[in-house]
């Protein structure tokens, strides 16, 4: 893909300097906001934030091969520049313009407190078996990452699956106005990023903003079991949108009616009800764990049906999908399984992981890092999770991180707090070697780096097995 500077100027209402107006010999074939990954022939966007200023790296960008720069303040440079008021906004405007040039069959937007990344990956896996798909890479789901993802679209792409994340009000409104999805999915509203949203009602309102980018007649895929379902339905009606739903509720278009789990796979039954009222029941399985992953699958199925795929198109992409790194990834232990769910954590996602752990045969230990961004309710929410683990029959709870200190008392016998990860790891390995537990869950917010716990336990167990 290549763009001209005049296209950039038109899309952003910028001012071109550094070459004669009316001539356009410069083309750029990629867009970069980071000189460390910038490729020769790129446009460099000098983003500016509270703690950084990309303008300071323009010389380095040019040295790396940038052929033009997008700036918000005048700079001396040997390459052409486009001056705008705000480079972040201009990046979004250019991405929005580019998205509209691409003749996609459908762009699916995905948001939610939990499950959005797995649902996005599931959708991409299903659609890729039918056509060419662009999907959000990693966690590029914010006001910097989403525009960069959209600028990866080419004329060869048939579908795009775009993840939208947020930690404050109006963020998803901004993102969906750029992406303009044809179908949007809200996986779930739960108590995540409460410091930014203030309350669950704030989360519900913000997730519902994804509908602001849908055209009248577009489709919103909603979870019938989620807090906020009725609020979202009311908004969809005001915006003249079609609602296609998933969940355990009788009214769900894609209803999860049966679920089973063993060490290796989940097996479940879905009842599919089209907008025309036609019904059928289907059975499938996936090489992963967790009831909530069956719900993520139901969300993906609903979105795929909404863009015109049939169950026969959808099923192969479910049955060979083995998950996303750091999200309920399983490793074999001598008598059970270690579940690595360390990508991030909030109360709802930790409870979902505990439910998965408790569904495995044998005794279990939950190794949990503290949950971040919970605001004034942090202690009570941590204690609520501890009590939930006890109720579900988890044998031991090992926790790390200052915010988690009150969890062992709430859990009762078998609950322990550790000042260091090394001490927690040693205790978990001891429980496994004494065969007091067979299964392990490791989870925590990114700040606790609990993936190090998963890696250490798996490596230690493997090493001791190899050495007899």
Say whether 44 sits in a helix, a strand or coil.
strand
Q: Taking 90 as the threshold, does the pLDDT of residue 18 lie above it?
A: no
Diameter of the chain measured on Cα atoms? 77
Q: Which of 456, 445, 454 is nearest to 369 (CA)?
A: 445
Quick one: how many helices (H) and strands (E) in the chain? Answer: 16, 22
Q: Which of 42, 82, 77 is nearest to 56 (CA)?
A: 77
Lowest mean pLDDT among 114-118, 172-176, 219-223, 323-327: 323-327
Q: Mean of the per-residue pLDDT values for the chain?
A: 93
Instruction: Please state whether beta strands 133-135 and 106-111 pair in parallel, antiparallel, or not at all (unpaired).
Output: unpaired
Q: What is the dihedral of CA 211, 215, 218, 224, to 10 degrees?
A: 10
Query: What φ, ψ does residue 295 adopt, rounded to 5°?
Result: -70, -40
- Fold equal for 102-320 and 329-459: no
Instruction: Provide the pLDDT for residue 123.
Output: 98
Residue 465 above 90 pLDDT?
no
Question: How large is the average pLDDT for residues 125-142?
Answer: 94
Per-residue confidence band for 277, with pLDDT thresholds at 50, 70 and 90? confident
Do the beta carbons of residue 216 and residue 241 sit within 8 Å? yes
Model confidence band, residue 467 (pLDDT cutoffs 50, 70, 90): low
pLDDT score for 466: 64
Q: Identify the band that residue 83 occupies on the pLDDT scale cut at 50, 70 and 90.
A: very high
Q: Which of 392, 448, 393 is nearest to 424 (CA)?
A: 448
Separation between Cα atoms, residue 8 and residue 175, nearest integer Å: 19
Whole-angstrom distance, CA of residue 161 vs CA of residue 136: 7
Q: Which residues contact 111 (CB under 8 A, 6 or more apart)?
A: 163, 164, 165, 166, 172, 184, 185, 186, 187, 207, 210
* pLDDT computed for residue 468 by the predictor: 55
User: Scanning the structure block, which residue is given the tokens 């003749």?
Assistant: 103
Distances in whole angstroms, Cα of residue 134 to Cα of each of 17, 65, 323: 33, 26, 18
Mean pLDDT value of segment 300-316: 96
Report pLDDT digits (tens) over 371-395.
Answer: 998 888 899 999 999 999 999 999 9
Q: What is the mean pLDDT of residues 346-353?
A: 90
- Sign of torsion over alpha carbons 313, 319, 321, 326: positive
Check pLDDT > 60 for residue 51: yes
Closest to 254 measured CA to CA, from 278, 230, 270: 270
Give domain limits for the chain: 3-84, 102-320, 329-459
What homologous superfamily is domain 102-320 in, according to CATH? Mur-like, catalytic domain (3.40.1190.10)
Please compute the mean of the pLDDT values over residues 445-459 and round it to a whole number. 94
pLDDT tens per residue, range 357-375: 998 999 999 999 999 988 8
Q: What is the mean pLDDT of residues 73-98?
A: 96
Confidence of residue 194 (pLDDT cuts 50, 70, 90): low
Q: Which helix (H) or strand (E) holds 413?
A: none
Our CA dihedral for 330, 331, 336, 339, rounded to 10 degrees, sits at -40
Identify the burial level of 413 via C-beta atoms within 10 angstroms of its C-beta, where 0-12 means exposed, 13-18 middle and 19 or more buried.
Answer: exposed
Pairing outcome for strands 81-83 and 15-17: antiparallel
**DSSP, residue by residue, 123-150:** HHHHHHTTS-EEE--TT--STTHHHHHH
In whole angstroms, give the CA distance from residue 170 to residue 441.
35
**Burial label, 98 (beta-carbon count in 10 A; 0-12, 13-18, 19+):** buried
Residue 20 clears pLDDT 70, i.e. is over it: no
Residue 457 to residues 59, 137, 421: CA-CA distances in angstroms?
45, 28, 11
For the chain, percent of residues with pLDDT exceeding 90: 81
Is CATH 3.40.50.150 what the domain over 3-84 is classified as, yes or no?
A: no
Task: State the fold for domain 329-459.
Answer: 3.90.190
Query: Quick check: helix, strand or coil at residue 58?
Result: helix
pLDDT computed for residue 195 by the predictor: 65
Cβ neighbours of residue 279 closer than 8 Å, sequence gap 6 or more: 271, 272, 273
When pLDDT is cut at 50, 70 and 90, the band that residue 21 belongs to is very low
Q: Six-digit token pair at 151?
A: 């600028």
**What phi, psi does 329 have (nearest 5°)?**
-80, 135
**pLDDT tens profile 225-264:** 999 999 999 999 999 999 999 999 999 999 999 999 888 8
Q: Residue 418 forms beta bridges with which residues?
A: 400
Nearest to 127, CA basis, from 166, 172, 182: 182
Separation between Cα atoms, residue 186 and residue 184, nearest integer Å: 7
Spatial distance between the Cα atoms of 305 and 108, rounded to a whole number of angstroms: 12
Coil/strand/helix, residue 64: helix
- pLDDT score at 343: 83
Q: State yes or no: pLDDT of 192 exceeds 70.
A: no
């Amino acid at each position: 893909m290549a763009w001209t500077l005049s296209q950039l100027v038109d899309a952003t209402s910028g001012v071109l300097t550094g070459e004669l107006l009316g001539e356009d010999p410069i083309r750029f074939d990629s867009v970069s906001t980071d000189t460390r990954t910038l490729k020769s022939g790129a446009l460099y966007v000098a983003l500016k934030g509270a703690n950084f200023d990309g303008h300071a790296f323009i010389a380095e960008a040019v040295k790396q091969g940038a052929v033009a720069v997008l700036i918000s303040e005048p700079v001396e440079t040997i390459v052409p520049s486009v001056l705008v008021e705000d480079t972040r906004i201009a990046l979004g405007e250019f991405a929005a313009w580019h998205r509209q040039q691409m003749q996609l069959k459908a762009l699916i937007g995905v948001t939610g407190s939990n499950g959005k990344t797995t649902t996005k990956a599931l959708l991409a896996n299903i659609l890729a078996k039918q056509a060419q798909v662009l999907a959000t890479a990693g966690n590029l789901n914010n006001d910097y990452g989403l525009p960069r993802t959209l600028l990866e679209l080419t004329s060869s792409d048939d579908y795009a699956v775009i993840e939208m994340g947020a930690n404050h009000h109006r963020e998803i409104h901004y993102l969906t106005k750029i992406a303009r999805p044809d179908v949007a999915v809200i996986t779930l509203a739960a108590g995540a990023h409460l410091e930014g949203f203030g309350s669950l009602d704030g989360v519900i309102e913000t997730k519902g903003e994804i509908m602001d980018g849908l055209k009248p007649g577009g489709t919103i895929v909603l979870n019938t079991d989620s807090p906020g379902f009725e609020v979202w339905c009311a908004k969809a009606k005001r915006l003249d949108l079609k609602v296609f739903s998933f969940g355990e509720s009788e009214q769900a278009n894609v209803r999860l009616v049966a679920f089973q789990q063993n060490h290796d796979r989940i097996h479940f039954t879905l009842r599919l009800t089209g907008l025309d009222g036609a019904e059928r029941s289907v059975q499938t399985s996936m090489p992963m764990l967790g009831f909530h992953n069956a719900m993520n699958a139901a969300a993906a199925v609903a979105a795929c049906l909404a863009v015109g795929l049939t169950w026969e198109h959808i099923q192969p992409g479910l049955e060979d999908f083995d998950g996303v790194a750091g999200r309920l990834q399983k490793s074999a232990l001598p008598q059970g399984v270690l579940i690595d769910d360390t990508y991030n954590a909030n109360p709802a996602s930790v409870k979902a992981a505990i439910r998965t752990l408790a569904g495995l045969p044998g005794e279990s230990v939950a190794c949990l890092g503290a949950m971040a961004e919970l605001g004034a309710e942090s202690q009570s929410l941590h204690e609520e999770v501890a009590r939930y683990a006890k109720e579900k029959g988890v044998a031991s709870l090992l926790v790390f991180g200052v915010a988690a200190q009150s969890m062992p008392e709430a859990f009762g016998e078998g609950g322990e707090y550790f000042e260091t990860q090394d001490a927690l790891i040693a205790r978990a390995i001891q429980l496994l070697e004494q065969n007091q537990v067979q299964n392990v869950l490791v989870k925590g917010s990114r700040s606790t780096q609990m993936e190090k716990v998963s890696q250490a336990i798996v490596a230690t167990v493997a090493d001791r097995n190899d050495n007899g």
